[in-house]
Chain A
Amino acid sequence: MRIFVCIKQVPDTETKIKLNASQDGIDESGIKWILNPYDEYAVEEALNLKAAEADSTVTVVSMGPKKRVVDSMRTALAMGADDGIVVDCEQEFDSATAAVTIAKVLKDEGSIGMIFTGMTAIDKNAGIFNEQLAEHLNLAHTNVVTKFSKTGDTCSVERSVEGGTTEVLELKTPAVVGATKGLNTPRYASLPGIMKAKKKPIKEIAFSDLGFSDTQKVKYINYQMPPEKPPVKMIEGDVAVQAKELASLLKNEAKVL
């Protein structure tokens, strides 16, 4: 069975974000790029499934500037994935374009056993790729999944929704499953894993060769930094005074009670 994992490269959470001069994006110089944190859960689950099902392989798929994207792909390969496919695309693209593109790439690969994605990418936080990919492939999907098991041609998934409620669903496979925290504990890449990853094959496809146009649905413009926040008001005095003062400020100054 061929298991696919869709991954994205995002700026490290700790990275400082600055806007570019035309304010239609961020200044990418000096940014440290990492594998999207939710995608680590997706890779781990794919590797667990591979271990459970004989004759399985894990292929990681991604889209973006080839030079950079291959780095996070090597992270997934070092964890144990077998090979990669990168759609080289220098220009900015949205989730809708990514979903249409990756759907085409996977269709062209032939037989799909299972697809994993992260719940959302922490850069633009659209959180819609999983569902849109499933729609274009006419497959079932579940996102925000915290438990997964597969038997024969169905899989059972649990997703936690608002209010601490858990839903248990059964999906016909192949299906598109979106991973979140709680699903597993992603492994660290071992040193031999990192060495091996360097030799694993990565197939390259040029986005411009796929012939898509008008796939972009959303474009971000007029970027802004958050408004300057007034400095914190520290409340001094002994505990009784502090508590009284804070309650009064919340009621009379901030008017939030």
Chain B
Amino acid sequence: MAKVLVFCEYNDGKVKNGTLELLSAAQSSGADVTALVLGSTAESVVEQLGHYGAKNVYLCSSADLDSYNPELYTEVTCSALNKAQVDIVLASSSQMGRDLFARVGARLNTGIVSDCTELSLQGDSVKVRKPLYSGKCSAEAEFLNSPTKIVLMRQNQLPIGTPDASASVEVHNLEAPKAATHTTIKEVVRGAMKRLDLTEANIIISGGRGMKDADGFKILEEAADVLGASVGASRAVVDSGWVPHSMQVGQTGKTVAPTLYIACGISGAIQHLAGMSGSKVIVAINKDPEAPIFQKATYGIVGDVFEVLPKLTEELKSVLQ
């Protein structure tokens, strides 16, 4: 039986879906599941971790870990891994996940594969696949010279299991890290974003140059309210300053793989397709019937987004009721 450690990301006392996906995958494979959770409110999610399959939880509740400091996080994570002695580590391929486990992998002299979209755990073996060359092909990653195999999964790729409220966990407290010597966090400015981050969103509605100006994004916001979606953008409109860079999908922006991606007034430059072609269902609304986005789309409408989208929002409202 494989020993698997899942690195927990959480927010306001709630474990993030990306982490729940990993716990569910580990549990359903029959692995012996351990979780690692850091920060002064870590205690608040221990029960949830147990309900989704963790038998053991390593926890460090030092307030120094409330913001991500690579130096401190690397130290604590390596100490947890040395204690837990697992075969496989699963974490989200989030910004924190990549940053932390890159350094952990180097310190423990072991392999790490980031941005995986397929995961199969069987007995002691782990098989992963990831997109390469901006999603133009994919490959299986084989670990070499790696005592612990570190796998970072893209979010929204795996099913979340049913929680078992009767499951119990054993908590192991970790020592607080020593003071950081090289890295100090000066300030964390929380984003004013009321929606889920694009990389975590299940539905994304994105706008391109066809939205005419910054004001044009209002109809995307209205549709997003109805769908519970997050709003993205193409590079062209970010470069024009209509929306912030944090909304950019594609090369030099974010790579996303939601269940539903609605592209409005986006022609579909290869740099944009690189960031969203992993979406399960793609809708394209564009005036130009020759726009490359239609070749990637599941459903297409040729038309003026300012006519089509408000009507669609109305219809979605009624089918969702």
Contacts from A to B (Cβ < 8 Å): 11, 13-14, 16-17, 19, 26, 37-38, 96, 99, 122-132, 134-136, 139-144, 146, 156, 159-172, 175, 180-182, 214-226, 229-230, 232-235, 239-240, 242-244, 246-251, 254, 256-257
CB-contacts of B118-142 with A (<8 A): 129-142
Among A26, A125, A249, the one with the most B-chain Cβ atoms within 10 Å of its Cβ is A125
> What separation, in Å, do the CA atoms of A214 and B243 have in the docked complex?
46
Task: Please give the number of chain B residues whose Cβ is less than 8 angstroms from any Cβ of chain A in the complex.
Answer: 98
Q: A26-B133, A172-B181 in contact; A218/B143 too (CB < 8 A)? A: yes
Residues on the B chain within 8 Å of A257, using CB:
227, 260, 316, 319-320
Q: Which residue of A lies closest to B70 (CB)?
A: A141
* Interface mask (B149-188 → A, CB under 8 Å = 1, otherwise 0): 0000000000000000000000000000000011111111
B259 on interface, CB distance cutoff 8 Å: yes
Q: Is the CB of B246 within 8 A of A214?
A: no
* Interface contact A140-B183, CB-CB below 8 Å: yes
Is B303 located at the chain interface by the 8 A CB criterion? yes
| Top 3 A-B residue pairs of the complex, sorted by shortest distance between their CB atoms | A164-B191, A217-B111, A128-B102
| Complexed CA–CA distance, A175 and B137 (Å) | 34
Report Cα–Cα, A257/B260, bound state, in Å.
8
Bound Cα distance from A217 to B113, whole angstroms? 9
Main SS class of interface, B: mixed
Neighbouring B residues of A125 by C-beta, 8 Å: 114-115, 130-132, 134, 255
In the bound complex, CA of A162 to CA of B16 (Å):
12
Give chain B nearest CB distance to A150 CB in angstroms: 14
Q: Judge if B110 is at the interface, Cβ distance under 8 Å.
A: yes
Contact with A along B295-321 (1 / 0, CB 8 A): 111111111000110011011101110
> Which residues in B have their C-beta under 8 angstroms from that of A38?
252
Contact B298 A232 (CB under 8 A): yes
A121 to B103, CA, bound (A): 17
A162 and B303: CB pair below 8 A?
Answer: no
Contacts of A169 in B (CB 8 A): 69, 183-186
Q: Mark B177-219, 1 if CB is under 8 A from A, else 0.
A: 0000111111111111100110110010000000000000000
A248 contact set on B, CB distance < 8 A: 315, 319
Q: When the two chains form their complex, are residues B103 and A234 in contact, meaning their CB atoms are under 8 A apart?
A: no
Closest CB of chain B to A237's CB: distance in Å?
9
Name the B residues within 8 Å of A181 (CB-CB).
245, 248, 252-253
> Is there contact, CB below 8 Å, between B70 and A127?
no
| Known interface pairs A127-B114, A132-B106, A164-B193; A221-B142 also in contact (CB < 8 Å) | yes
Contact A123 B303 (CB under 8 A): no
In this complex, the member of A96, A141, A217, A247 whose beta carbon has the largest number of chain B beta carbons within 10 angstroms is A217
Say yes or no: is B67 at the interface (Cβ < 8 Å to chain A). Answer: yes
Bound form: Cα–Cα A130–B70 in Å: 12
The CA-CA distance from A139 to B182 in the complex, in Å, is 7
Q: B308–A223 contact, CB under 8 A?
A: no
- B246 (CB) vs chain A CBs: closest residue: A164
